[in-house]
Amino acid sequence: MIIAIEGIDGAGKTTLAKKLKEWLENLGKEVIIIKEPGESEWGKKVKRGAKSVDEELYLFIKDREINVKEKIIPSLKKGKIVIMDRYYYSNMAYQGAKGIDIDVIRNMNETIAPKPDIVILLDCDPEICIDRVKKRGKTSRFEEVNYLRKVRDKFLEIAKKDKKVKIVNAEKSIDEVFKEAKKIVKDFLSKQDNLSS
């Protein structure tokens, strides 16, 4: 299965991914975390910055194609749970906030990448997120408060239309966020067990 953890920068995606991995491994599951953008030449170009929103989306898709082929599909074939620290829902929100149609972005991605089983959207006020990012001393060109407000709105718009997206209030403590996310994953796993029995 694929668990995608989404949200604006500073929402706590990486922290939650690590906590879920540890918990699932304690349950005897094999788990891999895959962070996007990746380390391919395309992923590195994304991090350096694109000239336009269209180029940005193109670079993300090329990077994801490599991730799918080299990491996601092989991990799923081995029966591992794949936790995505960002997935194509980020493209829908980030490039969607810059004017590209969300459905166009979704279709482009779903022709090359498997759909996630669960999407955990860590929702948080952009100003709180920017403070968190500054504290860890790693800001990027994506972290501008007005832009992040638009991105957050896009994420919430996606969540309204997509049953897979579960919103978790990421302004709460790490433990509370983890508890909520764990319940979402547990509920999904128990449904899967019921279907297979």
pLDDT in tens, 148-184: 999 999 999 999 999 999 999 999 999 999 999 999 9
Report the length, in residues, of the chain: 197
Name the CATH code of domain 2-196 (choices 3.30.830.10, 3.30.365.10, 3.40.50.300, 3.30.565.10): 3.40.50.300
Confidence (pLDDT) at 140: 57
Check whether 95 has a pLDDT greater than 80.
yes
> What is the pairing mode between strands 31-35 and 165-169?
unpaired
- Is residue 138 over pLDDT 80? no
Residue 33 to residue 3: CA distance in whole angstroms = 9
What secondary structure does DSSP assign to 34-52, as a single string? Answer: EESS-SSHHHHHHHH--SS
Q: What is the pTM of this model?
A: 0.93
CA-derived radius of gyration, the chain: 16
Average pLDDT over residues 112-138: 90
Give residue-wise pLDDT tens across range 47-89: 888 899 999 999 999 999 999 999 999 999 999 999 999 999 9
**Per-residue pLDDT averaged across 92-96, rounded?**
96
- HSE of 38, CA atoms in CB hemisphere, 13 A: 21
Question: What mean pLDDT is reported for the chain?
Answer: 93
